[in-house]
Amino acid sequence: MITADENGNGARIRTLIVDDAAIMRKAIKEMLSKDEHIEVLGVAVHGQDCLEKIPSLKPDVVTMDIDMPVMNGITAVKNIMVRYQIPVLVISSLVQDGWFAFEALRLGVMDFVPKPAKMNGSGRVSEEDLIRMRVRAAARMQVHWMRRVRRRKRPDALLTTRNHAPSAVAVLGATLAGPNTIMRIVTHLPPDFAGSIIALQEIHPKILGPFCNYFNEISPLEVVPVTGPQKLCAGKVYVGTTHCGLRITTPSHDDEPVISPGNSAEAAIDSILESAAEHFGENACGVLLSGLGTDGARGMRTIRKRGGLTVGQDHKCSVYPNIVEHAVRENVLDLLKSQEGIAACLESWAADRVNAR
């Protein structure tokens, strides 16, 4: 993990660009070269070329295309994670193909972002800024803690559709590298989980829906992307993106709670935690996972004040420990658990809330 920070202190981030299209290799190189914290070491034209160049170039970060000849990006990622454990940022035009996004995130890439569109003005600048920001963040990733999610197909018989409101709600909040962590936790939950799971993670909005479709194939609970208002039901996992956040509302006093996309990315984890505390009180559980920054501590404090449970992923074995470390300093966590420990904790907690009714 490189120690360069946002102020330029420390070494520059040595980056290898992998893409089979010459015009895209040039475009990515030009956009990364605008950042004084990033050094482009070289380019590779496919996955095999990348694997052959890594030993001599020793990059800190690899940007990876997916659809390439000789060796595609998914195969290259598998090899990199096993042989070199270098952070990988996928930059691909295959944003609507959920399988590729799901596979890349399942295998442990830092993020999956769309290639910059052919546009001018602020839209193009924003997309380029996102890629530069992701490369800088990738250099801080403790990738040796990343684990691939086992792709075990869920037996159809396990999925039960429940349409009643949950007795308890657990909110999982994560930023970068969150999808992999959330997948690992959810796949360890039982199919008869008594509450609802709300998972807010750093994932591009264009990828959210297709990603959830494939997540459903391995989840014991139904996975629902939150792209519009919908009723909260027990036994379901509602997935949203930190790009806009999530919120819980109750249209009228007698109505069941509804979850909807939010309208701001600022303090998105805090906002959904506070919303859960407001509507579920002692029947709310907040879980902070991998991520950079300080988002989440304020919301965890609110859940605690309302009698709910607050849990953090053990920051000593997290790819991005920052948000949990901040919550620890703020003294707002009841428990620190491993990913598997969090799943077991949520199972027993949700069952206890049902029995307490």
CATH of the domain at 76: 3.40.50.2300
Structure tokens, 232: 């909260």
Contact 47, 72 (CB under 8 A): yes
Give me the amino acid identity at 285: C
Query: Are residues 124 and 173 both part of a single domain?
Result: no
Query: Are residues 339 and 271 both part of a single domain?
Result: yes
Asked if residue 151 belongs to a domain, the reply is no
Asked if residue 5 belongs to a domain, the reply is no
Query: Are residues 176 and 320 both part of a single domain?
Result: yes
Query: Are residues 82 and 212 both part of a single domain?
Result: no
- 94 vs 141, higher pLDDT: 141
Contact 143, 87 (CB under 8 A): yes
| Mean pLDDT value of segment 129-133 | 94
pLDDT in tens, 171-202: 999 998 899 999 999 999 999 898 999 999 99
How far is CA 351 from each of CA 5, 28, 196, 245, rounded to the nearest angstrom?
44, 50, 12, 28
Asked if residue 255 belongs to a domain, the reply is yes
Asked if residue 152 belongs to a domain, the reply is no
Asked if residue 71 belongs to a domain, the reply is yes
Selection from 242, 249, 286 nearest residue 111 by Cα: 242
Asked if residue 127 belongs to a domain, the reply is yes
Query: Are residues 193 and 92 both part of a single domain?
Result: no
CB-side exposure of 284: number of CA atoms within 13 Å?
A: 24
Contact 67, 89 (CB under 8 A): no
Q: Which residue, of 94, 119, 145, is where some domain finishes?
A: 145
Query: Are residues 212 and 290 both part of a single domain?
Result: yes
Query: Are residues 216 and 102 both part of a single domain?
Result: no
Count of structural domains, the chain? 2
Query: Are residues 313 and 347 both part of a single domain?
Result: yes
| Burial of residue 284, with CB atoms counted within 10 A of its CB: 0-12 exposed, 13-18 middle, 19 or more buried | buried
pLDDT mean across residues, the chain: 91
Q: Is the pLDDT of residue 157 over 60?
A: no
Structure tokens, 317: 């074995």
Per-residue HEC secondary structure of 211-257 comes to HHHHHCCCCCCEEEECCCCEECCCCEEEEEECCCCEEEECCCCCCCC
DSSP string, 23-88: HHHHHHHHHHHTSTTEEEEEEESSHHHHHHHHHHH--SEEEE-SS-SSS-HHHHHHHHHHHT---E
Domain interval for residue 61 = 13-145
Query: Are residues 134 and 211 both part of a single domain?
Result: no
Query: Are residues 238 and 132 both part of a single domain?
Result: no
Q: Which residue, of 88, 113, 145, is where some domain finishes?
A: 145
Query: Are residues 180 and 83 both part of a single domain?
Result: no
- Alpha carbon distance 284, 99 (integer Å): 32
| Global confidence as pTM | 0.91
Q: Please, which pLDDT band fits residue 11 given cuts at 50, 70 and 90? A: confident
Query: Are residues 228 and 351 both part of a single domain?
Result: yes
